[in-house]
């Protein structure tokens, strides 16, 4: 972790993302007259070139935006299950979950949504001053001319050598047939550049109906995958109403289902608002205890009620009702931890109509978040993903991009605990055309009706709590945006019943006080394929704070991401 640092300041536009080249791509479009939405597309496409572990055109995600004229919308470009997907497709002959079937190879892929989502953004919310071809150009140029490999990218590729080498095209492009890319080398991605050029010439539907679509569908047919040309042609991004809430006079705009993140975030803020958080002190035992109990209750409800709203009934209004949230905290004890085992979900209004079953599943940490604002005050928060590190490992032959393993976010077998002790249930069961539940939580905070904070993070279920902590660090603890992003994080998700924490979270005395209250404390555990054995931190909360008086934009990249950068002009 870095020592306390200054934010990047600008008076016009600001982009902060997981790589400097991607942030520069967004700023390039802003300088050409594009707005924050145009820059969002350019940044996301550039990340597909510079950050292949999560940046993508073969995955999907969410954007929450707020236009300077007051319009706001959530764009859902989450992947969908292929039409022929079935609820038991990842079970073996004995009815058990077959290891790797939902995570490795073509059968793990959902229908990609990123290009459709970006097209929806450009068509309806772009400035009209830069064409679709122009917003793709920075990414095409990076792929065609090559990027300089950073130490972090070289480590990512080396750490995933065994995984990527299973697939000839991935082995050729990302591992150079065993001659690994080294830091400082120039890496050219010719096939990806050609794909981006096709999309420039023929438009975004080329991905779903043109040569790129045929490449993808033919590869699926040859190797037992499920995605067909019909699946690709049928894919559409979905406009959804932004989920709105408030916290201490600030307005919160966040992602509705099929993200679970927005509802859980607003639930936690609602449970906290009546408490004197600031007086507890940052990361004191009392503050961590309170937040852990709030997290526990929100995640319990998340497990009970949430799924794709096009397939299941989600009692959103009831879950966010202030009286209901007050009831959820009625048994809060300032001195003792609640036990997760046997803890019931709440009974929000509309619960009887919901498909009530537990939907928990470990989600991958390999996602990426980026934030953008322009000089006019248009603002966008985007979180998108391949799900696993380098997705399912498959590169579409001739097209140069990796595919997702998002099907793993569905329930593979109802009622069975997974490796992490989470029970999986009916409302997130696999069905053709369905979107899997997600924790991605792109969020905008408004002050006096104008953008104040743009934030979000990768990190599976930790996304929700990272977003909560960044927001409350600023609002409750009056931190600068860099302090709020850098501060040590902790996480509770109901099951397993433990507070997971980053190094230097709090004092040893406070840790002992939490244990005396009945909390179990666990240092952050490494997941398979972590590129660095020393990686004990989580998230990448690329954030922008806007000073309401001067209009100055303060960009804060997250030091947990080695190549991240905030760039303004």
Nearest CA-CA partner of 67 in 132, 126, 136, 9: 126
How many helical (H) and strand (E) elements, i.e. helices and strands, does the chain have?
A: 19, 19
Residue 76's alpha-carbon distances to 103, 162, 377, 440, in angstroms, are 22, 33, 22, 11
Say how far apart CA 467 and CA 485 lie, in whole Å. 9
Task: Give bridge partners of residue 383 from the DSSP assignment.
Answer: 62, 369
Say how far apart CA 494 and CA 338 lie, in whole Å. 10
Nearest CA-CA partner of 540 in 492, 460, 484, 485: 485
Contact 271, 294 (CB under 8 A): yes
Residue 490's alpha-carbon distances to 333, 468, 521, in angstroms, are 20, 11, 10
SS3 392: coil
SS3 541: coil
Q: Which residue reads 């190879």 in tokens?
A: 105
Which pair of tokens denotes residue 413?
Answer: 């077998």
Show the DSSP H helices in 240-284 as ranges. 261-272, 277-280
The number of C-alpha atoms within 13 Å of 560 and in the hemisphere containing its C-beta is 23
Q: What are phi and psi of 60, to 5 degrees?
A: -170, 180
Task: Give bridge partners of residue 186 from the DSSP assignment.
Answer: 148
Catalytic one of 316, 367, 395, 462:
367
Residue 105's region, left for phi above 0, alpha for psi from -120 to 50, else beta, is left
Mapping DSSP onto H, E and C, the string for 171-233 reads HHHHCHHHCCCCCCCEECCHHHHHHHHHHHHHCCCHHHHCHHHHHHHHHHHHCCCCCCHHHHH
Helix pair angle (285-305, 462-475), 10° resolution: 140
Say how far apart CA 13 and CA 218 lie, in whole Å. 42
150 noted as active-site residue? no
Mapping DSSP onto H, E and C, the string for 474-530 reads HHCCCCCHHHHHHCCCEECCCCCCCEEECCCCCCHHHHHHHHHHCCCEEECCCCCCC
Contact 267, 291 (CB under 8 A): no
Contact 537, 502 (CB under 8 A): yes
The number of C-alpha atoms within 13 Å of 231 and in the hemisphere containing its C-beta is 26
Could you give the residue numbers annotated as active site? 367
């Amino acid at each position: 972790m870095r020592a306390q640092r200054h934010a990047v300041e600008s008076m016009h536009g600001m982009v902060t993302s997981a790589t400097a080249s991607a942030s520069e791509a967004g700023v390039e479009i802003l300088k050409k007259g594009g707005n924050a939405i145009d820059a969002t597309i350019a940044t996301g496409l550039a990340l597909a070139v510079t950050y292949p572990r999560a940046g993508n055109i073969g995955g999907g995600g969410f954007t929450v935006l707020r236009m300077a004229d007051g319009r706001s919308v959530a764009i859902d470009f989450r992947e969908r299950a292929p039409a022929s997907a079935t609820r038991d497709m990842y079970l073996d002959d004995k009815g058990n979950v077959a290891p790797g079937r939902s995570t490795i190879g073509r059968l793990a892929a959902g229908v990609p949504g990123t290009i459709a989502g970006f097209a929806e953004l450009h068509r309806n919310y772009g400035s009209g001053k830069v064409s679709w071809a122009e917003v793709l150009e920075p990414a095409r140029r990076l792929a065609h001319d090559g990027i300089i490999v950073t130490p972090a990218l070289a480590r990512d590729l080396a750490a995933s050598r065994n995984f990527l080498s299973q697939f000839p095209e991935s082995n050729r492009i990302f591992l150079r047939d065993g001659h690994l890319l080294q830091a400082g080398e120039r890496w050219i991605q010719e096939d990806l550049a050609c794909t981006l050029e096709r999309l420039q010439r023929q438009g975004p539907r080329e991905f779903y109906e043109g040569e790129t679509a045929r490449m993808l569908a033919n590869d699926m047919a040859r190797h037992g995958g499920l995605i067909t040309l019909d699946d690709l042609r049928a894919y559409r991004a979905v406009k959804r109403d932004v989920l709105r809430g408030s916290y201490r006079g600030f307005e919160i705009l966040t992602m509705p289902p099929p993200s679970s993140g927005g509802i859980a975030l607003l639930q936690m803020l609602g449970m906290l608002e009546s408490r004197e958080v600031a007086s507890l002190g940052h990361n004191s035992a009392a503050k961590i205890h309170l937040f852990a109990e709030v997290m526990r209750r929100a995640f319990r409800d998340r497990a009970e009620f949430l799924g794709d709203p096009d397939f299941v009934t989600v009692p959103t209004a009831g879950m966010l009702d202030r009286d209901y949230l007050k009831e959820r905290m009625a048994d809060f004890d300032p001195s003792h931890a609640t036990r997760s085992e046997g803890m019931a979900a709440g009974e929000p209004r509309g619960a009887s109509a919901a498909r009530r079953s537990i939907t928990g599943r470990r989600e991958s940490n390999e996602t990426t978040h980026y934030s953008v604002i322009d000089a006019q005050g248009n603002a966008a928060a985007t979180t998108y993903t391949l799900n696993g590190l380098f997705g399912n490992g498959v590169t579409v032959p001739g097209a140069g991009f990796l595919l997702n393993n998002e099907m793993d976010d569905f329930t593979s077998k109802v009622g069975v605990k997974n490796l992490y002790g989470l029970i999986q249930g009916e409302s997130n069961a696999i069905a053709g055309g369905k979107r899997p539940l997600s924790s991605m939580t792109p969020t905008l905070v408004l002050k006096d009706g104008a953008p104040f904070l743009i934030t979000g993070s990768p990190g599976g279920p930790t996304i929700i709590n990272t977003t909560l902590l960044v927001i409350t660090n600023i609002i409750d603890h009056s931190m600068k945006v860099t302090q709020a992003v850098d501060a040590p994080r902790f996480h509770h998700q109901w099951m397993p019943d433990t507070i997971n924490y980053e190094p230097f979270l709090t004092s040893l005395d406070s840790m002992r006080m939490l244990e005396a209250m009945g909390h179990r404390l666990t240092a952050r555990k490494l997941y398979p394929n972590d590129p660095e054995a020393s990686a004990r931190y989580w998230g990448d909360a690329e954030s922008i704070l806007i000073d309401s008086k001067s209009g100055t934009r303060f960009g804060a990249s997250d030091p947990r991401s080695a190549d991240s950068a905030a760039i303004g002009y």
